[in-house]
Structure 1
Amino acid sequence: MNLHRYPQLVDLLAAEYVLGTLRGGARRRFQRYAEEDTTIRKAVDEWQRRVSPMAELAAPRMPPAAVWEAIERRLGFTAARDAARLRGTAQTPVQPSRGLFGNLAFWRGWALGVTGLAAVAVVVAVRSLLPSSTAPVSAPTVAQQPETAVSHVAVLNNKDAHPVMLVAWDEAHSTMTVQPLGKVELPAGRAMELWGIPASGHPVSLGMLPDSASGKVTAGQQKPENYAALAVSIEAPGGSPDHNAPSGPVVYTGKLLPVS
């Protein structure tokens, strides 16, 4: 198959390869193509550059033991162990049916798949903020696409470490594009204010956010490299009276990371 005829497919496969959602024989074939073809290898390198900052957005989290215990109870593992224990054969408990929906490995794989889909959603959100190429399809390489104007990104999480908002900072045009990733809870009659958090010193107000958490914010003279993180506070309309500190609760925070 001549992948050069399908630039969008190359880009999609490169994204899935980097995310780890391309598996089995398809992954091995694509890896072989990338090793032999500079165009495909550049597509992979480009997606690695885009996605690598995401690895620092949150620490790995394992599901609580109670989750697996609840799954085992629902699948009948706990009842089987209890029955075996009463019969004095706890060391060889009776196993329930091993059909697809009775297979604990299936449910664990499903849980990991949901986590993978969440990662894909974040990357797709980032990708949707990047300008697409309008060049002819005759030379379909990622390297020939125009450089993205997005210089920094931040995924803002709520207090439960769930992603709620994506901020893409276009330093060249002094704008920030905001896009919701989850449920944004804004009390009636209140507003959201975006803050830049430097490595040292006081927070700096970067402006008010749209109530929908979707739109653009003018960055003015602010530079993204001056801030280690971004935060959102709930304020009265018009924002905090002190531009050096939030007056209301801070509800979302996230690291600000360079795209390249």
Structure 2
Amino acid sequence: MSVPSPTHPQDLRAAEYALGVLEGDAWAEAQALARSDAAFADAVETWELRLAVLADFVPEIRPPERVWEAIRLRLGPTAANDNSKWWNSIDVWRGLTAASVAVGAIAIGILVSPNPDPVVKPPPVVVATAPWTAVVAAPDGGPKLAAITVDTDLKRIVVTPLALTAEQARSLELWVVPGDGSAPRSLGLVKADGATVLAAALPVEARGAALAISREPAGGSPTGAPTGPILGVGALSGT
């Protein structure tokens, strides 16, 4: 599986939390962080989506006969002969619980066993779609202003400033310019002093499109179209 670069300083903890391997204080700390840190919560959700695909390749497992034999022994001859009281017996529920644990252990063993059953086909390799990228640069050979990645699968746009500068009472706004020549569409405001992560899908076809950054009044363009100077433009490239 192709895994994108971490987007959070505690990406490994997010993966462990999503996988369910944390316990005790470590689990409580990760849970509290997911509630207070939106970026960490996004990282956990991203890992949950990556790991969820593995469940599709786990074959159905039939419990071995010894599991059912253990259930019958727990039930005893009285419960076996008296169907009216069978489901009211606490031993029945204990037996079913033991069976569930056994089946779960078998399923986990298939995922982590170093020597899997040779008749079980290995899961196919899942390759994530490579994100689209663009480098927004000033015109006429000017400096590179920002590096941008557009992940169409995760519906996320990451803008990393390279030479952007902030001005008082002004905002930097990111635009996508469709390849068909139609009007630019706003993707949101970006920062000059750090990376900006926009949880948004690209509203147009990526192929042939370009990204641009303009300087707008505080809060963004009041018209829905660029009103301030266009600082730079960069074509989107990808697979």
- The interval holding the TM-score normalised by the smaller chain is 0.3 to 0.5
Indicate the structure with greater helix content: 1
TM (normalized to structure 2)?
A: 0.43
Greater radius of gyration (CA)? 2
TM (normalized to structure 1)?
A: 0.40
